C-alpha cells in the first residue's frame, strides 16, 4: 500500500474529526464534493454537519473560523488556493493573529493553504504565501515537504492553541508517496537533516526539498557531499539546526520557491550572517523564483522556479568560492 501527500492530508483530517469533537472543516466545495483537490473526500458523509461548504467569501470564512475558535472549537479552514487567502488577509493577520495577545483567549484555527507552482496554473493559482504570514506575530507557519510531515504536522496544527497557516504544496499532492502513515514524528519547530553531507548546506522546505535532494544527487558523482536541511516549519524557524549544519559544512545555500525580495531564504541568511558569520567559509547564497508573477506556460514556469539543475549550478558556484 502507498500513501500520497494528499492522502496524508485527508487522513489527518479524518483522524482529527474522529478523535476531537471540537474539530470541524469549513471551506469552498469541501462538503459532498470533497474539495477541489479531494483533500476532504468522503469526510462529510462520515461526519455529517461537521464538514461544511462555504460561500465564496474568504474573509467571512476565516472570520467565522475565528469566532468559532474563540468559543473553543477547532476549525480547519480550507482555502481553495493559497492565492485566494489574500482576500482573507485582514481576518488572518489582524483578527486571528492578534486575538490571543489582545484578549488572552486562544485562537486555535488551522488554515490549510494549497500553495506553490504547478505547470499551467499561472499567476493566481501558484503563489507561495508562507513568508507573508510568517512576518506577522501570532501565527505559526508550517511547510511540510514529505508525506509523513503532511500527516503528523497537520494533526499537530489542529492541536496547537494558536492560528496555524498550513502550507501544503500542490505539486506534491499526487506524486509524493510513502509506504505508510507515520506513527511518530519530529515536533513542530524542529528542522530535519534530510541528507547528510560535509561540503555545503542547502536549507530549504516544501517542494524545493525534492529539487535540492535531486541536486545533491547530481553533485555526488562530482565528489561533493551536500547536506540538505528541511526546515519543515517556517515559523518558528529552527535556527539551531541550521547553524549546526553550517558549522559542519562552512557553506550555505538557501533555496525557496517564493519571490526573491525578503522571505524565508533572506531570513535564514540574515540569521546565519548575524549569529554564525565566523562559521562561513564563503558568502551565504540564496536561490529563489524570478521576481515576476508565476507564468502559465510550462517552458516559462520551469525557468521561473528553482530546479535541481539551477540549484546544482548555484551549489557548484558556491563550492568554487
Partner 1 sequence: MVRTALKPGTAEEPSALSQVYLKAFRFMLLSRILDEKFASLYRAGKIHGGVFLGRGQEALSASIGVSLKKGDVFAPLIRDLAGRLAFGEPILDAVRTYMGSPLGPMRSRDGNVHRGRIRDGILPMISHLGAMISVVNGTLLARRFHGMDNVVGVASIGEGATSTGAFHEAMNQAAVEKLPLVMVVANNQYAYSTPNHRQFACRSLVDRAVGYGIEGHEVDGTDLGACLRVVGEAVARARSGRGPQMVVAELLRLCGHGEHDDSSYVDPKLKASRLGRDCLKAAEEEVIRRGWTGPETIAAWRAEAMQKVDEAVATVSRESPPDPYAENWCALCSRHLSEGYEL
Q: Strand pairing of 285-287 and 233-235?
A: unpaired
Task: Pick one of 122, 138, 182, 250: the residue that binds partner 1 (CB under 8 A).
Answer: 138
User: How many CA atoms lie within 13 Å of 155's alpha carbon, on the beta-carbon side?
Assistant: 21
d(CA 10, CA 101): 31
The closest alpha carbon to 53, from 80, 74, 71, 73, belongs to 80
24: nearest Cα among 99, 61, 77? 77
- Our answer to whether residue 169 is catalytic in this structure is no
> Chain centroid to CA 31: how far?
24
> How near is the Cβ of 210 to partner 1 at its closest, in Å?
26
Contacts of partner 1 in 250-289 (CB under 8 A) = none
Residue 137 interacts with partner 1 (CB under 8 A): yes or no: yes
**Which residues, 101 to 120, sit near partner 1 by CB under 8 A?**
101-107
122 binds partner 1 (CB under 8 A): no
Confirm or reject binding of residue 319 to partner 1 (CB under 8 A).
no
Of 318, 310, 316, the closest CA to residue 289 belongs to: 310
Give the footprint of partner 1 on residues 183-212 (CB under 8 A). Answer: 188-189
- The residue range among 5-13, 87-95, 255-263, 292-300 that interacts with partner 1, by the rule CB under 8 A, is 87-95
Nearer to partner 1, 234 or 314 (CB): 234
Would you say how long the chain is, in residues? 321
Supply 76's cell numbers: 480547519
**217 is a contact residue toward partner 1 (CB under 8 A):** no
Q: How far is the CB of 230 from partner 1 (least distance, A)?
A: 18
User: The C-alpha cell of 57 is what?
Assistant: 467569501
Residue ranges that bind partner 1, judged by CB under 8 A = 24, 54-55, 57-73, 75, 87, 90-91, 94-95, 97-98, 100-107, 137-138, 140, 160-162, 188-189, 235-237
Residues known to be catalytic: 125
Amino acid at each position: 500500500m502507498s500513501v500520497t501527500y494528499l492522502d496524508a492530508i485527508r487522513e489527518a483530517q479524518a483522524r482529527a474529526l474522529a478523535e476531537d469533537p471540537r474539530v470541524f472543516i469549513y471551506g469552498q466545495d469541501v462538503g459532498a464534493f470533497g474539495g477541489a483537490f479531494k483533500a476532504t473526500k468522503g469526510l462529510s458523509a462520515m461526519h455529517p454537519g461537521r464538514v461544511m461548504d462555504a460561500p465564496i467569501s474568504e474573509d467571512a470564512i476565516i472570520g467565522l473560523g475565528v469566532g468559532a475558535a474563540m468559543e473553543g472549537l477547532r476549525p480547519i479552514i480550507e482555502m481553495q488556493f493559497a492565492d485566494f487567502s489574500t482576500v482573507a488577509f485582514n481576518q488572518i493577520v489582524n483578527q486571528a493573529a492578534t486575538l490571543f495577545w489582545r484578549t488572552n483567549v486562544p485562537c486555535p484555527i488551522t488554515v490549510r493553504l494549497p500553495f506553490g507552482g504547478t505547470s499551467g496554473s499561472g499567476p493566481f493559482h501558484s503563489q507561495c504565501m508562507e513568508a507573508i504570514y510568517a512576518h506577522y506575530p501570532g501565527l505559526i507557519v508550517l511547510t511540510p515537504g514529505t508525506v509523513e510531515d503532511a500527516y503528523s504536522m497537520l494533526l499537530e496544527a489542529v492541536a496547537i492553541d494558536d492560528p496555524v497557516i498550513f502550507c501544503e504544496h500542490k505539486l506534491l499532492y499526487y506524486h509524493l508517496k510513502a509506504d505508510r502513515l507515520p506513527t511518530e514524528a519530529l515536533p513542530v519547530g524542529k528542522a530535519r537533516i534530510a541528507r547528510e553531507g560535509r561540503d555545503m548546506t542547502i536549507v530549504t522546505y516544501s517542494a524545493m526539498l525534492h529539487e535540492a535532494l535531486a541536486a545533491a544527487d547530481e553533485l555526488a558523482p562530482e565528489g561533493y557531499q551536500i547536506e540538505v536541511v528541511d526546515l519543515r516549519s517556517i515559523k518558528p524557524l529552527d535556527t539551531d539546526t541550521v547553524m549546526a549544519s553550517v558549522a559542519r559544512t562552512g557553506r550555505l545555500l538557501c533555496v525557496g520557491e517564493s519571490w526573491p525580495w525578503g522571505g524565508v531564504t533572506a531570513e535564514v541568511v540574515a540569521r546565519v550572517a548575524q549569529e554564525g558569520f565566523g562559521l562561513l567559509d564563503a558568502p551565504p547564497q540564496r536561490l529563489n523564483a524570478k521576481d515576476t508573477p508565476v507564468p502559465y506556460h510550462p517552458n516559462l514556469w520551469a525557468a521561473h522556479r528553482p530546479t535541481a539543475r539551477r540549484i546544482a549550478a548555484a551549489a557548484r558556484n558556491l563550492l568554487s568560492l
